A and B are shown apart, each in its own frame.
Chain A
Amino acid sequence: MPDPTSIRIRGVDKSFGAGEARVWALKQADFEARPGELIMLVGPSGCGKTTLLSVLAGTLTADAGEVEVLGRRLDGLSQAELTAFRRANLGFVFQSFNLIPTLTVRENVMVPLLVQGVAREEAEARAGALLAKVGLGGREDDRPGGLSGGQQQRVAIARALVHDPRLLICDEPTSALDKDTGQRVMEMIRELSRSPDRVVVVVTHDHRIFRFADRIAEMEDGRIRRVLDDPSLIDSPSH
């Protein structure tokens, strides 16, 4: 029986290029995440974190293996089905924010709702409510360019959560921010995304935010090396 709320990945391979230049980004990777938890993916640069994240976000198709996300087998889905799956279930927070500079803060937050076909008035209201929650009430009509990095990432968090996704995916959400700002942003992700049937996966290099994780999965050479149930047990990173 597929579990409609969790993530289970078994024996996933993903390579880029061909022949001599072929790079194995994932090799027989196994990974699991439980509903309600915030799990961090950590490991040295190039070990495959982003690739794994892309596979479970359905933006990248694995070469082999089983990918089960929120009760759906993603391996074997068509591009259109993957698109529909992302539309319904995913929220994204990116390292470089990826806010559209020519749109207002509110319009940026509305995008996932509008893509889902939610009516404009409702989208506006929901975006406004969430912007108030991330402490940006009153800045709705500003352009992202006028905000600080931390504020921009808060807009991105609002955008990632506005449609109440069951899987929130964050790739290096704090690495473009200074220490204190990074802490506050991570606190906000932690606080706002907490929900018994939502999974939050955060890829990070930033050991200062490890304490926000419920569990930490360490990656090495395209696979998960170990999973720590207590984040305080992790060794200080060497890189």
Chain B
Amino acid sequence: MYRLALNMLFGDRAKLAMLLVGLSFSALLMAQQSSVFFGIMSWTYTPMVNIRSAVWVSDPLVEQVNDAQPMRDTDVTRVRSVDGVAWAAPLHTSILQARLPNGNFKLISLVGIDSDTFAGAPAVLTVGRIEDLRLPNTVLIDEWGANLLGRPETLADGTVRQRPLGVGDTFELNDTEARIVGVCRVKRAFTGGPFVYTTYDRAKAYTAGVRRTLSYVLVEPRPGVAPADLCARIEAETGLKAWTSDTDLWSWGERSLAKSTFWWFWRNTGIPFSFGTAVLLGLFVGIAISGQTFYSFVLENLRYFAAIKAMGAGNGVLLRMLLLQALAAGLLGFGLGVGMAQGIGRAMIEKGMPPFVMYPQVLVATLVLVLGISLCSALIGMAKVARVDPASVFRA
């Protein structure tokens, strides 16, 4: 009987197509919007990914990584003296205006790293060597920023393209020259423009006038010391705030700065609301379209359901038939919708805009919601079928 239930639905191509449109659109909207949401949220803790350090120490007032509070230079030494610290290095982060050769101003994210250890340096340099930062007035710039700060040029064949900044190009930060000696590849960020890396000491020159330039102390624990334990010790001994750097949404610990950043953005921005709205919209559109379509499928087949009832099928059998029909449509719609979301997502990842992170958890949640929608549809239909009178089969 249940196989017949499926054949009944699949025999009705038009209804099935409508159902699949509704369900797959809903799945697409929910999966795609959630993935862009997690993509954007992952940008909020980009520094944690780019500046690879096991432990971060900050001013106690810091709540999220993009909003560093100035610390005293002596804090580095205080942290170094805590038991379990292998080494500690200063880090500067700030947002500055860069004056480009053509006179334009652009905002950049300045990162000053310790010139002895190069702690916090980008993982990948596509051009140049990190040691070149020890030369006077030198900086690294990230690929995306190099392109952004470049300027259009006309090629011989007349086409115009953006000529990225490269090694040897210069710009000015607070009237001080910055000469590019390398190009790095880093993850894009939510705040701030292109990343410009320099040494911690030179960052002081570029931010002339700022009294305190220490934003974070990057700490490497001694082998065998757990970062979270070290954090607790640093906090107890220095009164500063210490963070771990785990960035995996599903496993990050209590002390993760990425986690704190994520929830800070959750609380203080409209991002969760606007994406939550889109996901809810997907849910409602799904319920509306598939509920309505399934209901009209049931209405159209009501006399046949009545006939099946007359032939001795109870409400339980009919309910299971409807559930099976709805869930089968739900599964197909989920597959189609998520397939489309993944297609779109792949295109997005290639362009990097908007950011797109499709967690398996999002897929599971989407599946649950789509099946929930199907379930609702089946129940809406069942309300009708349960009430149909088997005696009605004799009325033409």
Interface assignment of B339: CB less than 8 Å from any CB of chain A: no
| Among A53, A54, A86, A120, contact of B312 (Cβ-Cβ < 8 Å) | A86
A-B contact number at CB 8 A = 83
| 13 chain-A/chain-B pairs, Cβ below 8 angstroms | A54-B391, A59-B310, A83-B312, A83-B313, A87-B312, A90-B312, A92-B311, A92-B393, A98-B304, A100-B304, A110-B4, A111-B311, A115-B1
Residue of B7, B9, B308, B393 near A94 (CB, 8 A) is B393
Complex-state Cα separation, A104 to B391, whole angstroms: 25
- Taking CB atoms, residues of chain A closer than 8 Å to B11 are 101-103, 143
Give per-residue flags for B310-324: 1 if the beta carbon is below 8 A from chain A beta carbons, else 0: 111110010000000
CB distance from A160 to the nearest CB of B (A): 9
Q: Which 9 A-B residue pairs are closest in the complex by CB-CB distance?
A: A87-B312, A102-B11, A59-B391, A114-B1, A86-B312, A59-B390, A60-B391, A98-B307, A54-B391
State in angstroms the CA–CA spacing of A180 and B317 once bound together.
Answer: 39
Chain B 357-396 interface mask (CB, 8 Å, partner A; 1/0): 0000000000000000000000000000000011101111
Docked CA distance A88–B391 (Å): 17
Please tell me the number of chain A residues within 8 Å of chain B, measured between CB atoms.
34
**Given that A94-B394, A95-B396 are known contacts, is A86 also in contact with B310, CB under 8 Å in the complex?**
yes
A107-B7, A114-B1 known; A98+B314 contact, CB < 8 A = no
- Chain A 187-231 interface 0/1 with B at a Cβ cutoff of 8 Å (1 = within): 000000000000000000000000000000000000000000000
Q: How far is the CB of A108 from chain B (nearest CB, A)?
A: 9
Q: Choose among B12, B308, B309, B313 the residue that contacts A102 (Cβ–Cβ < 8 A).
A: B12
Check B311 against A87 for contact (C-beta < 8 Å): yes
Known: A54-B391, A83-B314, A86-B311. A96 touches B396 (CB 8 A): yes
Interface residues of A (CB under 8 A from B): 50, 53-54, 57, 59-60, 80, 83-88, 90, 92, 94-96, 98, 100-104, 107, 110-112, 114-116, 120, 143, 171
Q: How many residues of B contact A (CB 8 A)?
A: 28
Once the chains bind, are B396 and A115 in contact (CB under 8 Å)? Answer: no
> How far is the CB of A35 from the nearest CB of chain B, in Å?
21
Residues of B within 8 A of A86 (CB): 310-312, 390
- By beta carbon, the residue of chain B nearest A94 is B393
Q: How far, in angstroms, from A100 to B10 measured CA to CA in the complex?
A: 13
CA distance A119 to B213 in the complex (A): 80
Give me 16 other A-B pairs in contact (C-beta within 8 A), A90-B312, A103-B4 excluded. A50-B394, A54-B391, A59-B391, A80-B314, A83-B312, A84-B312, A85-B312, A86-B311, A90-B310, A98-B393, A100-B304, A101-B11, A102-B10, A112-B311, A112-B312, A114-B4
Smallest Cβ-Cβ distance to B13: which chain A residue: A102
Q: For residue B307, which residues in chain A have a CB less than 8 angstroms away from its CB?
A: 92, 94, 98, 100
Q: Which of A90, A102, A120 contacts B311 (CB 8 A)?
A: A90
CB distance from A223 to the nearest CB of B (A): 19
Q: Is B3 close to A, CB under 8 A?
A: yes
Listed in ascending order, the chain B residues whose CB lies under 8 Å from chain A are 1, 3-4, 7-12, 301, 303-304, 307-314, 317, 389-391, 393-396
Contact A107 B311 (CB under 8 A): no
Nearest to B303 among chain A residues (CB) is A98
Task: Tell me the nearest residue of chain B to A60, going by C-beta.
Answer: B391
Whether A111 lies near B308 (C-beta < 8 A) is yes
State the CA gap A114–B10 with chains docked (Å): 19
Q: Select B317's contact among A94, A107, A112, A115, beta carbons within 8 Å.
A: A115
Residue of A nearest to B297 (CB): A102
* A158 → chain B closest CB, angstroms: 13
A42 to B169, CA, bound (A): 103
State the CA gap A66–B8 with chains docked (Å).
39
Which residues of the partner chain B approach A116 to less than 8 Å between Cβ atoms? Answer: 312
> Given A59-B391, A102-B7, A107-B7, A88 and B312 touching (CB < 8 A)?
yes
Question: How far, in whole Å, are A206 and B7 apart by their CA atoms in the complex?
Answer: 36
Task: From B11, B308, B311, B395, name the one whose CB has the most chain A CB atoms within 10 angstroms.
Answer: B311
Q: Are A102 and B312 closer than 8 Å at their CB atoms? A: no
Least Cβ–Cβ distance between A43 and chain B, in angstroms: 15
User: Smallest CB-CB separation from B16: which chain A residue?
Assistant: A102
Query: Smallest CB-CB separation from A117: which chain B residue?
Result: B1
- Residues of B contacting A87 with CB < 8 Å? 311-313
- B311 and A115 contacting across the interface, CB-CB below 8 Å: yes
In whole Å, how far is A210's beta carbon from the nearest beta carbon of chain B? 20
Please measure, in the bound complex, the distance between the C-alpha atom of A47 and the C-alpha atom of B237, giving whole angstroms: 99
How long is the Cα–Cα vector from A101 to B300 in the complex, in angstroms?
Answer: 11
How far apart sit A53 and B396, CA to CA, in the bound complex (Å)? Answer: 15
Would you give the shortest CB distance from A148 to chain B, in whole angstroms? 19
Please, which residues of chain B bring their CB within 8 A of the CB of A60?
Answer: 389, 391
CA distance A60 to B311 in the complex (A): 13
Residues of B within 8 A of A95 (CB): 394, 396
A195 CB, nearest partner CB in chain B, Å: 19
Contact A103 B394, CB 8 Å, known A86-B310, A86-B311: no
Bound-complex Cα distance A88 to B12 (A)? 30
Of residues A80, A94, A100, A120, which shows the largest number of chain B Cβ atoms within 10 Å of its Cβ? A100
Determine if B313 and A115 form an interchain contact, defined as CB atoms under 8 angstroms apart: yes
Name B7's closest neighbour in chain A (CB-CB): A103
Which residues of A lie under 8 Å from residue B313 when comparing CB positions? 83, 87, 115
Residues of B within 8 A of A143 (CB): 11
A111 to B11, CA, bound (A): 16
Q: Which of A50, A59, A103 has the most CB of B within 10 A?
A: A59
> Which residues of B lie under 8 Å from residue A53 when comparing CB positions?
394
Q: Is A100 touching B8 in the complex (CB atoms < 8 A)?
A: yes
Chain B neighbourhood of A114, CB < 8 A: 1, 4
